[in-house]
Amino acid sequence: MAKHAIKLTVNGAPREASVESRLLLVHLLREGFRLTGTHIGCDTTHCGACTVLLDGVPVKSCTVLAVQADGREVRTVEGLEKDGKLDPIQEGFMQEHGLQCGYCTPGMMMTGRALLDRSPAPSEDEIRHAISGNLCRCTGYVNIVKAVQHAAGKREGA
């Protein structure tokens, strides 16, 4: 099985890797690039803990091959903070207590970030719809919705 030389952009920086065909994107990120902020939860496309942005669109990175990301742009939770300043979505989760155990949080924040990029002032319904592929088992959806709303408000005020 031949290896594939791939080039992609991860959190704004060009990266290269030699990958096996069957390598999943989440494993390339965590083990290849040591970006362990992206979590592996169910590994069966259900939970959304592994959500990253692929060309700006949230996807479950346990169900994407690393070779499919060749030539594309990946953004992970590590790419949210800029120059020591938290992204509004991170501020929102901190201020509104949008997490308890934290396992779903990177995925929730990436989905939230993508929603706000597309729809800067989403309704509660839109937020709940957007995060319906991300599971939180601490039952923290109320505060997660508030966290996204907090981030939307901050952005509007900025």
Partner 1 sequence: MIPPPFDYHSPKTLPEALELLGRLGEDAKILSGGQSLLPLLKLRLAQPAHLVDIGRIPGLDYINEEGGFLRIGALVRESALESSALVRSKYPILVDTASVVADPLVRNLATVCGNLAHGDPANDHPATMLALGAEVVLTGAKGSRTVPVAEFFTGLFATALRPTEVLSEIRIPVPPAGSGGAYVKLERKVGDFATAGAAAFLVSKGGTIERAGIGLTNLGPTPVKARDAEKALAGKRATEDAFAEAGRLAAAAASPSADRRGSVEYKREMARVLTVRALRLAARRAEGR
In Å, the largest CA–CA distance within the chain is 53
What x-and-dash track marks residues 25-64 binding partner 1 by CB under 8 A? --x---------------xxxx-x--x-----xxxx--xx
Whose Cβ is closer to partner 1: residue 44's or residue 139's?
44
Give dist(CA 155, CA 52) in Å, integer.
21
Give dist(CA 28, CA 84) in Å, integer.
25
Q: Does 1 bind partner 1 (CB under 8 A)?
A: yes
Residue 138 CB, nearest distance to partner 1 (Å)?
Answer: 17
Number of residues that bind partner 1 (CB under 8 A): 30
Give dist(CA 148, CA 89) in Å, integer.
6
Residue 51: closest CA among 115, 142, 100, 141: 115
Binding site for partner 1 (CB under 8 A): 1-2, 4, 20-22, 24, 27, 43-46, 48, 51, 57-60, 63-65, 67-68, 70, 111, 129-130, 132-134
